[in-house]
Structure 1
Amino acid sequence: MSYRMANAVSYCEIDGQLIFLDLESDRYFRLSEALEIRFRAFVQTGETSPNALAELATHRVLVDAQDGELLPRSFALATPHHSAIEREDSSARTALLAVPEVAAVVAYFRSQLRSQRVPLLRLIARASAYRQRHTGHRRGLCSETDLLRAVEAFTRARLLVPIEPRCLLDSLSLLRFLARRGLYAHLIFGVSMDPFAAHCWLQTDDLVLNDSVGNVMAHTPIRTV
């Protein structure tokens, strides 16, 4: 049997340690030292012992090479150098007009994230498909001015929505808010160690949309959607 990385699984390396994210089971994990060595061998050469391959498949790191995919493969974005929330570019009136829409989209994603019927992988796949439908192939054609104004309107309106902020909740909500305006953004998951912490944010090229550059740089990207 031939294997490949599970589409729902991605990983990064921090201080010589591999950290894995499984979106299907919504968990972060590490492998044993011995299994990590075998996984590195698989990544470098595509080969390892049959027993190791089977064990990696048991941990859902590898899957049958014929299995289908729900999401595009993760990829690297530019190192962030700018932050949209550290700029001011829209009017308070624009933000006020956006409150009903922002309240609705935040409430929607809160209910979806709380639901046990919608796995995180499926929810993110739907968000990615929604973005594709509304932005098409305009990934690199977004006006930065339009992007900054939309982010500022969302950020100000979000302050008036009485739902506790959460990075995943607000990133998914902003992703949809931008997509409705034909504006493309990437959803990035990141982790940090000592102590372990998981985070996510939106980014376009080297522009962070809903976080500060300093906070984003404190996390190592593990998945880009």
Structure 2
Amino acid sequence: MGFALRDGLSFCAAGDRVVFLDLADNRYFALRTPQAEAFRRWALGNLPTDGDPSQLLWLERNNILTRQPQNSRPASQSMPDVQVPRSKIDVSKLRPMIAPIVHAIVARFIWSRRVKRWPLSRLLDVLGPSATSATLNDSPRNEAALKQMVRAFRISDLVLGSHDQCLVRSLALVATCRKRGLHCKLVIGVQPNPFAAHCWAQNESSVLNETPDRALMFTPILVA
């Protein structure tokens, strides 16, 4: 018999802690040291210690792992897959256009209402096709369209504010980009001490609505 990570959980190793995001319960939680160390060894396929079986059974009893005919290790399957943030798209000299700005503001209002009413699992369900399945085109025309959309959302920050709005801003930007076939990922990251969570939109290694230095302060726990 083996184990698998329970559906609806994503995780990351942030510092010396293993942090989970439970989409079903809309919450974060971290493991204590014995369970965290056993989970790390199991997830990475490392040799277990004598105490690991009892710790893995504890994780099963607490609905973190589920029994499987054989081990289904999540290290290569469930850990977030996203490039390291290295740059920020420069749109400071781009002439703003009215239509994208209106779309950005409307999207912000729509997603603000959704975030207040819906759990994260439902928000992700309606976000739109993932970046891997969306129709991607790196043509100059699409690059220009992406820059114009980023410019519009930065202007929406001036109109609607940006403080404590990272989830709404990022969901709205990613959804709007995907509707136009533009490459964009939603990244949720955490930092352990003190615990904090953050969210941003990213295209390859370019952060769209945050600075790379700020994004690098957080370890990705979910990429959608």
* Short-chain TM bin: 0.7 to 0.9
The range that moved more, 99-108 or 158-167, is 158-167
SS in 2 for 1:29: strand
Unaligned runs of 5+ in 2: 70-76
Q: SS state of the match for residue 90, structure 1?
A: coil
Give yes or no for contact 2:162–2:169 (8 Å, CA) kept in 1. Answer: no
Secondary structure of the residue that 1:195 maps to in structure 2?
coil
Corresponding residue number in structure 1 for 2:91: 87
Deviations 1:7-39 (A, max 9, x none): 422222233222222222222211122222321
Q: Secondary structure at the match of 1:98?
A: helix
Say whether residues 1:55 and 2:58 are aligned partners. Answer: yes
Q: Does 1:76 align with 2:81?
A: yes
Q: Give the equivalent residue in structure 1 for 2:165.
A: 166
Cα distance change of structure 1 residues 62 and 149 upon mapping to structure 2, 3 Å threshold: same
CA distance in 2, matches of 1:156, 1:206: 22
CA contact (8 A) 1:99 1:161 kept: no
Consecutive unaligned residues in structure 1, runs of 5 or more: 67-71
Question: 3-state DSSP class of the match of 2:63?
Answer: coil
Q: Does 1:131 align with 2:129?
A: yes
**Matching of residues 1-225 of structure 1 within 5 Å:** 2-45=2-45, 49=53, 51-63=54-66, 65=68, 73-84=78-89, 86-92=90-96, 94=97, 96-115=98-117, 118-127=118-127, 130-132=128-130, 136-139=133-136, 141=138, 143-161=142-160, 166-225=165-224
Give the TM-score, by structure 1 length: 0.79
Q: What code does the residue aligned with 1:217 have?
A: L
Give me the whole-angstrom Cα distance separating, in 1, the residues matched to 2:30 and 2:163: 30
Q: CA RMSD in A?
A: 2.9
Shift of the 16–26 alpha-carbon distance from structure 1 to 2, 3 Å rule, reads: same
TM-score, scaled to structure 2:
0.79
Question: Using the alignment, how far apart are the partners of 2:162 and 2:205 within structure 1?
Answer: 29
**Structure 1 residue 76: Cα displacement:** 2.3
Aligned residues: 211
User: Offset at 1:64?
Assistant: 5.0
1:137-188 Cα offsets, whole Å, 9 max, x none, are 4346364332122211222134224786510011000011111221121111
Contact 1:90 1:153 in 2 (8 A): no
Q: 1:170-216 deviations in whole A, cap 9, x for unaligned?
A: 10000111112211211111112332211010111110010011111
Quick check: which one's helix share is greater?
1
Q: What are the Cα deviations for residues 39-75 of structure 1, in whole angstroms up to 9, with x where unaligned?
A: 12321339752x5444213433223559xxxxx9453
Which SS does the other structure have where 1:203 is aligned?
strand
